[in-house]
Structure 1
Amino acid sequence: MRVDLALGPSARRVSPLAVTDLGFRAFAERNQPRYTRYASARLTRDADVQVAVHITFGLASGNWAWLLSQPVLAAAVWAELRHQVEARLVKGAPPDHHAAALYKALPRVKADSVLLCHRLHFDVEAAAELMGVEPPAVEASLRAAKRTPPPLAERKDS
């Protein structure tokens, strides 16, 4: 026996675009405060922080369908945030001096791991999720950073 399920007259169809918009809004709501913390740790002026985060989310929103097709959406957006922060620095935004020294001494991914875990006090899992990598990658970055000259790798600024 075949049973046909039909939507009643009060049921509303949700367009794929609306679902996509909802997905972006959820992503943005979850990550905006964390992206702002990261940008604030690298840039000293609030206006530069806001521009970097705003542009990142604007580009993510405009390219959301493409981002959904990427192997790791969080990694793609994180790379854009890092790029926007670095673009602000190239344009003359004053850097946080501790963060600038960290990024001068370490490759970006290692510096991001140290900044997120040691300075911003994210646990390894939260930092990995934010950057779109697996926790062992963050752990490896933190171990490698310990081999750099102190106090860069182990500084625990608030």
Structure 2
Amino acid sequence: MRPSPAAAGVSDLGFVAFTERNRPRYLRYASARLGVDSAVRSAVGATFAFAQAQWPWLLAQPGLALDVWEELRYQVGCESEHYPPVVRSVARLYDRLPQTSADSVLLCRHLGLDVDEASDLMGVERAAVEAGLVVAHRNLPFLVERGCM
């Protein structure tokens, strides 16, 4: 059964709101990971193209923000294969930590988001971000001590 035009409009409006809310933070994240403007735009653009194409399905899932965040991670990973790391300490995070830990450090320590904003952006519980920061501190204390995180 096809949704009514009014329902489709509400869905489209939801997608527009989601995009407007998250685009600046997605761009900052991708820029910190990739550094090359064309790669950043490509990764974020592909992420939102995925989200728009899958929007009705995503709305029915329990973790819309998490699903789109995972797509952003994937797109950034694809783009990063073509470019050398911009900041070595950021590359080290992703080489040595689980993705949620590395993302938590990048968002909270490098980009200055608070834990609640980072958890909202990634679509995970606050405790997952806090645990990610603890894991990073335990496993990469030399980066913390040098002020890289």
TM-score, normalised to structure 1's length?
0.86
Q: Give runs of aligned pairs for residues 41-56 of structure 1, distance below 5 A.
A: 41-56=32-47
Larger radius of gyration: 1
Instruction: Say whether residues 1:38 and 2:29 are aligned partners.
Output: yes
Structure 1 position 14, deviation (Å) = 6.0
Match of residue 10 from structure 1: none
User: The residue matched to 2:105 in structure 1 has which SS?
Assistant: helix
The partner residue of 1:29 within 2, 20, 29 is 20
Structure richer in helix, relative to its length: 2
Whole-angstrom distance in 2 between the partners of 1:128 and 1:114: 12
Match of residue 134 from structure 2: 143
Residues 154 and 140 of structure 1, relative CA distance in 2, 3 Å threshold? farther
Instruction: Say whether residues 1:70 and 2:68 are aligned partners.
Output: no
Question: Which runs of 5 or more residues in structure 1 are unaligned?
Answer: 1-12
Runs of 4+ off more than 6 Å: none
The partner residue of 2:85 within 85, 95, 98 is 95
Residues 17 and 155 of structure 1, relative CA distance in 2, 3 Å threshold? farther
Whole-angstrom distance in 2 between the partners of 1:68 and 1:147: 37
Residues 62 and 154 of structure 1, relative CA distance in 2, 3 Å threshold? farther
Whole-angstrom distance in 2 between the partners of 1:69 and 1:108: 25
| AA aligned opposite 1:20 | S
Aligned residues: 145
Residues 79 and 137 of structure 1, relative CA distance in 2, 3 Å threshold? same
Whole-angstrom distance in 2 between the partners of 1:132 and 1:23: 16
Structure 1 contact 38–116 (Cα < 8 Å) conserved:
yes
The C-alpha deviation readout for 1:94-114, integer Å capped at 9, x for no partner, is: 322221111011011100001
TM-score, normalised to structure 2's length?
0.91
Identity over aligned residues, as a percent?
52
Residues 69 and 153 of structure 1, relative CA distance in 2, 3 Å threshold? farther
Residues 154 and 61 of structure 1, relative CA distance in 2, 3 Å threshold? farther
User: The residue matched to 1:133 in structure 2 has which SS?
Assistant: coil
